[in-house]
């Protein structure tokens, strides 16, 4: 068994991003600028947004966090988005999900200018992705593909089983694996004989959100296993009061795999660089356009 080490690979990609930022500065151009809108006080969302701002600072990007009260109306939120859409000094915009229940997530996602949609959630980017055209890919599936590419995992003709069909992970993941010439099966909560389906996979990508869902009896000998899942499980012995658990029972499953991602240190850091890569690309495109 060998580790698909997201910490290591993301470190290398961050270093490349820093070099690209230096090039922009040397050419007298602006550094990339990411804006993040955070609505309400959700603890996990606050942590994610703070991590994104820290990531930006580390590679030399500018970032702006716009904190809005949980009671803000949808109209007020849309007005904020519109103002950022028209701000030439901001390259990328993300609205941290989940949003309070009185705000329609689809309306908000679609209000973001797709050329600034560095989360890759806008239907325009989703459509471009499914057609295999240049677009902003959602960060997590992009991160998984970058990880597999780094370790030269050959996907051609392999049976890839994606467990989970969410808009942000499972569905785009299946499209990207199809583009890598894998034969793709997508499983979900209604899939029959799911254990047998997963056991037939050469590559398993788990994005379920149930800690240790994938057990050794569900994994073929020599399979590649990618664990997207991150669940906070209460643990009084941990300083934070919780521990992060993946969707895969790591210890027993790892023994059967050829390659496996750890949690933490696998897909998580790759997701973070995915957002940075999209923001860099947005800045390069906006500034090239402005120069012509």
3 or 168: CB nearest ligand NAP: 168
Round to whole Å and give the CA distance between 74 and 229: 30
Round to whole Å and give the CA distance between 211 and 63: 33
Choose the binding region for ligand NAP from 31-39, 63-71, 73-81, 264-272 (rule: CB under 6 A): 264-272
72 or 267: CB nearest ligand NAP: 267
112 or 186: CB nearest ligand NAP: 186
Question: Which residue among 11, 67, 188, 215 contacts ligand NAP (CB under 6 A)?
Answer: 188
| Catalytic site includes residue 52 | yes
φ/ψ of residue 213, rounded to 5? -65, -40
| Catalytic site includes residue 55 | no
| Catalytic site includes residue 158 | no
| List 55, 80, 91, 96, catalytic entry | 96
CA angle 277, 173, 206 (to 5 degrees): 115
Secondary structure percentages of the chain, helix, strand, coil, to 5: 45, 20, 40
Task: Determine how many CB atoms are found less than 10 A away from the CB of residue 198.
Answer: 24
| List 52, 116, 158, 171, catalytic entry | 52
Question: Which residue among 38, 56, 145, 187 contacts ligand NAP (CB under 6 A)?
Answer: 187
- Footprint of ligand NAP on residues 190-219 (CB under 6 A)? 190, 194, 207-210
Task: Determine how many CB atoms are found less than 10 A away from the CB of residue 255.
Answer: 12
Quote the least distance from Cβ 186 to ligand NAP, whole Å.
9
- Footprint of ligand NAP on residues 154-173 (CB under 6 A)? 163-166, 168-170
Quote the least distance from Cβ 271 to ligand NAP, whole Å.
3
Question: Which residue among 99, 223, 267, 276 contacts ligand NAP (CB under 6 A)?
Answer: 267
Round to whole Å and give the CA distance between 238 and 16: 34
For ligand NAP, how many residues bind (rule: CB under 6 A)? 24
Residue 113 burial (C-beta neighbours within 10 Å; 0-12, 13-18, 19+): middle
Tokens of 137: 């890919």
- Cβ 250 vs Cβ 262: under 8 Å: yes
71 or 98: CB nearest ligand NAP: 98
- Footprint of ligand NAP on residues 129-148 (CB under 6 A)? 140
| Three-class DSSP category at 251 | helix
DSSP annotation of 193? T
Interface pattern 88-107 for ligand NAP (x via CB under 6 A): --------------------
Q: Which residues pair with 63 in a beta bridge?
A: 34
- Cβ 160 vs Cβ 195: under 8 Å: no
- Footprint of ligand NAP on residues 227-246 (CB under 6 A)? 228-231
Active site residues: 52, 96, 119
Q: Give the binding site for ligand NAP (CB under 6 A).
A: 140, 163-166, 168-170, 187-190, 194, 207-210, 228-231, 267-268, 271
């Amino acid at each position: 068994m060998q580790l698909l080490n997201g910490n290591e690979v993301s470190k290398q990609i961050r270093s490349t991003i820093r070099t690209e930022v230096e090039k922009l500065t040397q050419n007298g151009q602006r550094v990339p600028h990411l804006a993040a809108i955070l609505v309400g006080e959700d603890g996990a969302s606050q942590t994610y947004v703070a991590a994104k701002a820290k990531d930006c600072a580390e590679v030399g990007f500018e970032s702006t966090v716009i904190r809005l009260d949980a009671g803000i109306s949808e109209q007020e939120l849309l007005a904020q988005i519109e103002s950022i859409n028209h701000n030439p000094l901001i390259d990328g915009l993300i609205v941290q999900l989940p949003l309070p229940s009185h705000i329609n997530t689809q309306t908000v996602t679609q209000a973001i200018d797709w050329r600034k949609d560095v989360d890759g959630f806008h239907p325009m980017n989703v459509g471009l992705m499914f057609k295999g055209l240049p677009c902003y890919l959602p960060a997590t599936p992009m991160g998984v593909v970058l990880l597999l590419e780094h370790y030269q995992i050959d996907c051609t003709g392999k049976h890839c089983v994606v467990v989970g069909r969410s808009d942000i992970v499972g569905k785009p993941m299946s499209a990207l694996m199809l583009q890598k010439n894998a034969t793709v099966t997508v499983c979900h909560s209604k899939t029959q004989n799911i254990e047998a389906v997963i056991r037939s996979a050469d590559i398993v990508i788990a994005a379920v959100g149930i800690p240790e869902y994938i057990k050794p009896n569900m994994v073929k000998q020599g399979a590649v296993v990618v664990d997207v899942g991150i669940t906070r499980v209460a643990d009084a012995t941990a300083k934070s009061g919780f521990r992060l658990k993946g969707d895969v029972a790591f210890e027993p499953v790892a023994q059967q795999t050829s390659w496996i991602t750890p949690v933490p240190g696998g897909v998580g850091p790759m997701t973070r660089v995915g957002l940075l890569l999209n923001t860099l690309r947005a800045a390069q495109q906006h500034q090239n356009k402005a120069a012509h």
